[in-house]
Amino acid sequence: MKVSKFGGTSMANAEQIRKVCQIITSDPERKIIVVSAPGKRFDKDVKVTDMLIDCADKYLRNKDYETVLSNIVLRFAEIARDLNLDDEVVRDIESNLRTRVVMGFDSDAKFMDRMKAAGEDNAARLVSQYLRKTGHRAHYVNPKDVGLFLSDEYGNARVLPQSFKNLTKLKEIDGIVIFPGFFGYSLSGDVVTFSRGGSDITGSILAAALEVEVYENFTDVDSVFVANPRIIRNPAPISELTYREMRELSYAGFTVLHEETLEPVFQRGIPVNIRNTNNPEAHGTMITPVRSEGFDIPLSGIAGDKGFCSININKYMMNREIGFGRKVLQILEEEFVPFEHMPSGIDDISIIVRNQFLDDGKKSRIMERISKELRVDSISFEYNLALVMVVGEGMKHRIGVTTRVSKALAENAINIRMINQGSSEVSIMFGVNEEDVDRAVIAIYGEFFGETAGK
């Protein structure tokens, strides 16, 4: 049995949904299907999830939400009409949406999640209707009915352990299961969503619970590429990656998979196959626990991500002060600021954090507490930092990778602000100025893949 997940662009209109259904029905192993909400039909289009967020936001601020709501209904109505489904389907979707609005709520976050989840929920209903209309045995399954329970962290939920056992019930359903991605329920019965792009996580949870042979993740690209195709012209495709490589790459800006996707399947060693709805013949990229080939080039991928800040702390004789690092991190912990990297010297330490976790209030509190409580000589916040991650299992025990990367950066006059390599040797982080990040990716790609292929 396979779990197959289809992303937003695969659900964007009737033509795409027909392709999805063709893919589903062409393989009897594809029994558990997870769907996203309709995504963008063209570059400047708006995703249904964004429309739902806009609608919820307007409602919460007592603004006119009716126009957005009608536009959401229209998006679904257009799909339903083009799939030749009955008008009743559209009426059901409209009443589903309106019920969500008027149901009452005790917190804005709960209301927001209930609205956000409507995209996936109605898309799943629509696909199952279409499959039934075209003569297939298909059932929409609501996450509550099979016990997909999540933590009550609205907009950023995590799966609760009991869900895995509960979800084995899906095996007993006869026919194709159409399951909405992106949300589950808290133990108190409220809709809770994962963070954005979280339908990938739903697919992974189902794949793990059912211990399937493969988790297929259908998107709109033929494979994962060595570097971002928006920066590199025709980057090399990757046929096989390990979980660790993919995790490093998605953490550092590869958006093909949500960065939390791999955790459930990782524990059970289930492979993930990234595939293209628009080209189902392509084998895509296989993400597996280990890989045996492809080590002739040490790098598997190069990712670049902006939006970081370095908190630079200096104190004479810092190396002699046992517990200094812990105290700094404790202050960050108390401010709920996660850290990404922590390169250090004898008398200084830099803590790399994402800007999004640092508002002005937090910044000044952290600055004041570190200065006063730890009596440091200086502390500064340095913004404009981008991280370039060079990732590959082939780098382990390989001499000279850093030399080649730094040579490529030097030749392009790019200053390296910091370097960090973990003991696993699967990734090396290079900190550069934000304005240099794309050029850095192009330079490194050229060095290892023999082309200077920047766009």
Residue whose CB is less far from ligand ASP, 147 or 198: 198
Residue whose CB is less far from ligand ASP, 59 or 182: 182
Binding residue for ligand ASP, selected from 12, 13, 33, 47, defined by CB under 6 A: 47
Q: Could you tell me the smallest distance in angstroms from the CB atom of residue 80 to ligand ASP?
A: 18
Q: Which stretch binds ligand ASP (CB under 6 A): 67-75, 194-202, 338-346, 403-411?
A: 194-202
Cα distances (Å, whole numbers) of residue 235 to 34, 228, 385, 405: 29, 7, 25, 18
Q: Could you tell me the smallest distance in angstroms from the CB atom of residue 182 to ligand ASP?
A: 4
Under the binding rule (CB under 6 A), the answer on residue 204 touching ligand ASP is no
Q: Could you tell me the smallest distance in angstroms from the CB atom of residue 37 to ligand ASP?
A: 4
Binding residue for ligand ASP, selected from 34, 37, 206, 226, defined by CB under 6 A: 37
Residue whose CB is less far from ligand ASP, 180 or 392: 180
C-beta separation of 195 from 235 below 8 A: no
Q: What is the dihedral of CA 236, 241, 246, 249, to 10 degrees?
A: -30
Q: Which residues contact 228 (CB under 8 A, 6 or more apart)?
A: 235, 253, 254, 303, 304, 441
Q: Could you tell me the smallest distance in angstroms from the CB atom of residue 183 to ligand ASP?
A: 9
Residue whose CB is less far from ligand ASP, 119 or 298: 119
Question: Cα(377)–Cα(3) distance, rounded to whole angstroms?
Answer: 56
Restricted to residues 237-276, the positions that interact with ligand ASP (CB under 6 A) are none
Binding residue for ligand ASP, selected from 122, 128, 186, 199, defined by CB under 6 A: 199
Question: Cα(224)–Cα(229) distance, rounded to whole angstroms?
Answer: 10
Residue whose CB is less far from ligand ASP, 8 or 392: 8
Binding residue for ligand ASP, selected from 3, 8, 218, 243, defined by CB under 6 A: 8
Q: Could you tell me the smallest distance in angstroms from the CB atom of residue 160 to ligand ASP?
A: 19
Q: What are phi and psi of 353, to 5 degrees?
A: -130, 160
Q: Could you tell me the smallest distance in angstroms from the CB atom of residue 123 to ligand ASP?
A: 9
Q: Which stretch binds ligand ASP (CB under 6 A): 54-62, 191-199, 316-324, 378-386?
A: 191-199
Residue whose CB is less far from ligand ASP, 49 or 285: 49
Q: What is the dihedral of CA 412, 417, 422, 425, to 10 degrees?
A: 10
Under the binding rule (CB under 6 A), the answer on residue 198 touching ligand ASP is yes
Give residue 270's identity as a one-letter amino acid code. Answer: I
Under the binding rule (CB under 6 A), the answer on residue 36 touching ligand ASP is yes
Restricted to residues 119-148, the positions that interact with ligand ASP (CB under 6 A) are 119
Under the binding rule (CB under 6 A), the answer on residue 203 touching ligand ASP is no
Binding residue for ligand ASP, selected from 181, 264, 284, 392, defined by CB under 6 A: 181
Residue whose CB is less far from ligand ASP, 190 or 260: 260
C-beta separation of 38 from 13 below 8 A: yes
Burial of 243 (0-12, 13-18, 19+ CB in 10 A): buried
Q: Could you tell me the smallest distance in angstroms from the CB atom of residue 200 to ligand ASP?
A: 6
Biggest distance spanned by C-alpha atoms of the chain: 75
Under the binding rule (CB under 6 A), the answer on residue 182 touching ligand ASP is yes
Residue whose CB is less far from ligand ASP, 50 or 434: 50
Q: Could you tell me the smallest distance in angstroms from the CB atom of residue 199 to ligand ASP?
A: 3
Under the binding rule (CB under 6 A), the answer on residue 38 touching ligand ASP is no
Q: Could you tell me the smallest distance in angstroms from the CB atom of residue 256 to ligand ASP?
A: 12
Residue whose CB is less far from ligand ASP, 24 or 409: 24
Residue whose CB is less far from ligand ASP, 8 or 304: 8
Residues that bind ligand ASP (CB under 6 A): 8, 36-37, 47, 49, 119, 181-182, 196-200
